[in-house]
Amino acid sequence: MFKKFLIVCLMVIVMFSIYKIHKIEVEEQKREEGKYYKINVLIPKTDNRKLNREIYNLVEANKAKVIDKAQSDKPKDKYELIINYTKTVYRDVLFVNINIYKFLGKNYEREDLSFYYLGEVKLDVSYFFQRDYLKELSSISKKYLQEKNLSEESINNLTLPNEKNFHNFYFNNFGLNIFFNTATTNELITIPYEEINHILKEKFQSITIHENTIPIIKNITDVSNYKDKKLIALTFDDGPSSNTIKLLDGLKKTNSKVTFFLLGTKVYQYRDVIKRMYSESHQLGNHTYHHLNLRYLSKEKALEEINYTNNAIYTVTGHFPTVFRPPYGIISDEVKKEISQKVILWNVDFRDWRYKSSKRVFNQIVKNAKDGNIIVLHDTYKTTVDGVLLAVDKLVKEGYRFVTIDELISIREIELENDKSIFVN
């Protein structure tokens, strides 16, 4: 009897371990800036130590290369390393796709690396596809790449039927998503299941599920009595993250509203959090798909970064974002004139990402508490969320109100022009 009980306990432990390995418990953002370089890294932290180590080694190797080259070349424009990720679980398999962007003086160079794990077991491509799949996958992919602005030669090279061209992918409800990249080209295509089921192993065959885009109903905040109040707009970049739910819970207690500038890579992963943001009357903004410096992108690529994120947010909420914040606050007049959103910057930035101190965040918000201020923050840091909630509680008691960008503009009757950026002083 005891032996049977022990076996059952062991089975439960094993099943729980496999489940936990699929969870992204937290994510880690690391920002670093030197005289000749800027580093911005956002990576997942899982319960799979082997995967964590692989990702850590990948990040450190790329950081070392960029920093060494920057210190050797001493460039006028700082070299950059930007790393972010997408993560999904499909049919018990954890997919983590790491996107690496390096600016070394000319254009961004991109590299994508995909990891697939079933529990502690690292998988290879043969786990997902039937034998002799490459020729058919090549033909299907070519059709989707022809919709992109690519030369026939580039398309032919990217879709040569070899495993190297098709090893960066993940599955989700929409189908098979494949990254194609070279030093000068990076493209993502999504192939519906109906077109690829015949080359997938039975476990991964499916039908395409389209996200429900019925617009989410927003609870309207009554701001009719705010005109005589001191107003502050807190804005959060680079999220959502594993800290955002705590932030939403805390803001709800004081009926405070903020604006979130979202990264497109995170929209699908945090879709339930984003739906909650919108339904609780927070404002959603666009912060590009990969957090690249738009200065180093062509107009077409910059607009692609923006439009991909607009569409992702619409797919989840049924609403397009009405405001846009470019990474690093940099955007050309040419791109500005092409987008429909108002460009929103800030007038208070105390670099919460550098110091990572909840006490400092609290003190700086209180110190900069002034009617009309727009403060830039990052909900990717627990220290920021903790400091913000303490400051909000204190300032609400002192008569301040925290509002979204749109609310601030409306209450203060600010006129915005399409091709202008806004700082509110």
pTM: 0.81
AA identity, residue 318: G
pLDDT in tens, 108-127: 988 889 999 998 999 999 99
**How many whole angstroms from its chain centre is CA 40?**
12
The pLDDT value given to residue 391: 98
Q: What is the DSSP letter of 371?
A: T
Of the two residues 188 and 1, the one the predictor is more confident about is 188
Dmax (CA) for the chain in angstroms is 77
Q: Are 276 and 239 in contact (CB under 8 A)?
A: no
Show the tokens assigned to 243. 């800290």
Task: Identify the residue with better confidence: 79 or 226.
Answer: 79
Tokens representing 356?
Answer: 């990572």
Strands (E), 53-185: 79-90, 93-103, 108-118, 121-122, 169-172, 175-181
CA distance 1 to 10: 14
**Dist. CA 155–CA 148, nearest whole Å:** 9
Residues 6+ apart with CB under 8 A from 142: 155, 156, 159
Residues 230-422, CATH architecture: Alpha-Beta Barrel (3.20)
The tokens for 5 are 């009980």
Helix, strand, or coil (residue 275): helix
Q: Where are the beta strands (DSSP E) in 192-258?
A: 230-239
CATH topology of domain 19-123: Heat Shock Protein 90 (3.30.565)
- pLDDT mean over 300-328: 93
- Of 50, 210, 52, 197, nearest to 128 by C-alpha is 197
CB–CB of 387/362 below 8 Å? yes
Active site residues: 237, 378
Strands (E) in 159-254, as ranges, are: 169-172, 175-181, 186-191, 230-239
pLDDT of residue 184: 64
- Note the pLDDT of residue 418: 54
Domain limits of the chain?
A: 19-123, 129-210, 230-422
Name the band, by pLDDT with cuts 50, 70 and 90, for residue 149.
confident
> Looking at the predicted structure, is the pLDDT value of residue 276 above 90?
yes
Using the predicted structure, report yes or no on whether residue 25 has a pLDDT greater than 60.
no
Q: What is the pLDDT of residues 197-240, one digit of tens each?
A: 999 999 999 987 665 556 676 766 777 788 889 999 999 999 99
Instruction: Find all residues with CB under 8 Å of 340, minimum gap 6, and list them.
Output: 320
